Amino acid sequence: MSTERPFYEESDVSRRVQRFTNYVTAGLILSCNALLLLGLWVSGVDLEAALAKPELFDPANGHCVGVQWTKVAGAEGLVKVCTEWIDFSDISGQTHSLDSDRALAMGADGNLYFPGQTVENYRLIALMIFAIVVMACGMWVKRQLIANYQVRLQSFDHRSP
């Protein structure tokens, strides 16, 4: 029976694996975040506009102080639209105004809405799916790299005299 100590002790192997795990984790955090930012840039999604709720006058929660006749898609002729209002749920008391740059459309139920939101929503959903895929692949790569490193250390340990 041989009493020789292996080249690497068990604590040395676990210390090496822990250090490698920390390096892999830091590297994957940086690279996955860079990939996510690249995906956000490529998708062209404006998160501020996509996540912000566009303001329209709600008669149940406000008082209209400014009205304008406006052309609305889906309606014949000009439509009377509240362009400035006080929102009762806003404690600041400031007046809210309709964004004049955005087009309005009338739905089948007679309510006004901003058209074009669905395309932005689909791009946002695609971006979320991309983020989930990047995170899942990052976790899988981390497990594979650490497992391969442990196998390499163990095989090196068995080859040592």
Determine the average pLDDT of the residues in 140-148: 96
pLDDT of residue 133: 96
Distances (CA, A) of 47 to 27, 30, 59, 122, 149: 26, 21, 28, 13, 39
Distance CA 116, CA 105 (A): 10
| CA diameter of the chain | 99
Q: What's this model's pTM, rounded to 2 decimal places?
A: 0.60
118 confidence band (pLDDT: 50, 70, 90) = low
CA Rg, the chain, in Å? Answer: 30
pLDDT of residue 20: 95
**85-89, 104-108, 113-117, 135-139: least confident range:** 113-117
